[in-house]
Amino acid sequence: MYYNYHIDKYLTNKLHIQNVMTGVEFIFKLIDKIIELINMCLWNVFLPVFIIVALYITYRTVKFIDTISVKDKTMWEFSKIKNSLFVSLSSKIGTGAIIGVLAAMRKASYNGIGGEGIVLWVIIGMLLLVPVTYSEVLFSMITKKTPKDFIAYNVTDKASVVYSVGLTILYSFGFVGFQLTGIQSIIKIVFKQKFNYEFTYSSMMFCVILPLIIVVSLIVILKSYKLFINVLGFLISFMVLAYVIFFIAFLVSTADFIPKYLVLVWNDFIRFRSASIGIPIGFIVGLQRIIQTSETALGTSALSSADAKNSPRREAIIQVISTVITIFIAVVITSYVFTYGRYNVSGINLSANGFERILAYLRSAISVTGYWGGMVIIIFFILSGFTTVLGSFHFLNRTMSLSENRRILFYISLITLSGILSISNFDTIFEVVNLLMFIVSFINILAMLIFAIKNIYDFKIR
H helices within 271-331, ranges in order? 281-294, 300-304, 312-327
Can you list the domains of the chain with their CATH numbers?
Answer: 2-64+94-459 (1.20.1740.10)
8 Å CB contact between 170 and 433: yes
Residue-by-residue pLDDT tens, the chain, 462 positions:
444 444 454 445 544 444 544 666 677 778 878 888 888 888 877 878 888 899 999 999 999 998 888 887 777 766 667 666 766 666 666 666 677 788 888 877 776 677 788 888 888 888 888 889 899 999 988 998 888 899 999 999 999 999 999 998 988 888 888 888 888 888 888 888 788 888 888 888 888 889 888 988 888 888 776 677 677 667 777 888 888 899 999 999 999 999 999 999 998 888 876 665 567 777 777 777 777 777 778 887 877 776 667 788 888 888 888 888 888 888 888 899 999 999 998 888 887 677 788 888 989 999 999 889 888 888 888 887 777 787 778 778 878 877 888 888 999 999 999 888 888 777 788 888 888 988 999 999 999 999 999 988 888 775
pLDDT at residue 79, as a whole number? 65
Residue 460 CA, distance from chain mean position: 35
8 Å CB contact between 321 and 85: yes
The answer to pTM > 0.75 is yes
From CA 446, how far away is CA 322, in angstroms rounded?
24
pLDDT at residue 311, as a whole number? 80
Residue 392 to residues 67, 174, 397, 399, 431, Cα–Cα distance (Å)? 35, 10, 9, 11, 19
pLDDT at residue 252, as a whole number? 94
